[in-house]
Amino acid sequence: MKIRILSAVVLLAIFIPLLLIGGLPFSMLMLIIALMGLHELLKIRKTKKDFPFSVELFAYVIVIFMTLTNYNSKDLYFVMDYRLMSAIMFVFLAPMVFINDNNKYNLTDALFLIASTIFIGLSFNLLILVRNFNLEYIIYLFVISIITDTFALITGMYIGRNQLAPLISPKKTIEGLIGGTIMGVIVGTIYYTTVIDVGADLGITIFITLVLSLVGQLGDLIFSSIKRYYGVKDFSNLIPGHGGILDRLDSIIFIVLGFILFIEFL
């Protein structure tokens, strides 16, 4: 536990100043984390099958482009760059023909890389865009994530009795889900209605915060399911006591993806 707390303190000491500064420094931090996250996804996949080096290299290049798309924009608007989407399809599907060996590279490999690059690139690009638009918004999302995760852990540890998803994550409990959600909604709603918008509709704010808290926990379970499928405990051992980048950021990734669905109602 001491190692876990110390690691968290070090991470926050690095992350918080760059979050407050925003701009290029924060964007570069998100890019580095995105590339680390992609590396963890590819590494866990390679426990079952390797990728050709050239195709794997393309994945990193694409994540760089996706993460930094409109990185200096101050407006919170979202457009799909069909040119980039087309490039992704060609880059990962065409090698099946040129390599011409299903044992080395096949459709399953291509689809995994397509999904991984879009998922990682889109998620961290959104974190940059939300931060550029409004510092208070991104803090709101992190508040929901941190408070939900913390109190889910505490509640589950002390009063957890009923497993939530035993085949995916045996330690997670229904009581932990409830405790984390309640505290995430209370603290998240208080933050939003006192810092971001004093006149916000309380009912809508509570509902959206509730959904985001649940979505964050869903993201945690989705990543746990991936690890369970590949038979590993953590995505990596990069962060002592926490695991890898994706182990630490699993909930905030899904929270920011969920947030975009509700942005027009806040």
Name which of 109, 92, 259 is nearest 192 in CA terms: 259
Residue 7 has pLDDT above 90, yes or no: no
Residue 180, CA distances (Å) to 152, 156, 186 in order: 4, 9, 10
Are the C-beta atoms of 177 and 217 separated by less than 8 Å? Answer: yes
Helical (H) or strand (E) element with 169: strand 169-173
Tell me how far apart the alpha carbons of residues 158 and 162 are, in angstroms, rounded to a whole number.
12
Return the pLDDT at 11: 86
Strands 169-173 and 163-165: antiparallel
Residue 1 has pLDDT above 90, yes or no: no
Q: pLDDT band at 78, cuts 50/70/90?
A: low
Tell me how far apart the alpha carbons of residues 29 and 40 are, in angstroms, rounded to a whole number.
17
Return the pLDDT at 79: 67
Average pLDDT, integer, range 198-222: 95
Q: pTM, whole model, 2 decimals?
A: 0.92
* Average pLDDT across the chain, whole number: 92
pLDDT tens-digit series, residues 141-197:
999 999 999 999 999 989 988 999 888 988 899 999 999 999 999 999 999 999 999
Residue 25 has pLDDT above 90, yes or no: yes
Residue given tokens 């999302």 in the structure block:
141
Average pLDDT, integer, range 219-230: 93
Average pLDDT, integer, range 69-95: 85
pLDDT tens-digit series, residues 240-255:
777 899 999 999 999 9
Return the pLDDT at 65: 93
Residue given tokens 């080096």 in the structure block:
53
Q: pLDDT band at 206, cuts 50/70/90?
A: very high
Q: Tell which wins on pLDDT, 240 or 90.
A: 90
Q: Tell which wins on pLDDT, 85 or 207.
A: 207
Q: pLDDT band at 205, cuts 50/70/90?
A: very high
pLDDT tens-digit series, residues 26-46:
999 999 999 999 999 999 999
Residue 2 has pLDDT above 80, yes or no: no
Buried b (16+ CB within 10 A) or exposed e, 101-131: eeeebeeebbebbbebbbbbbbbbbbbbbbb
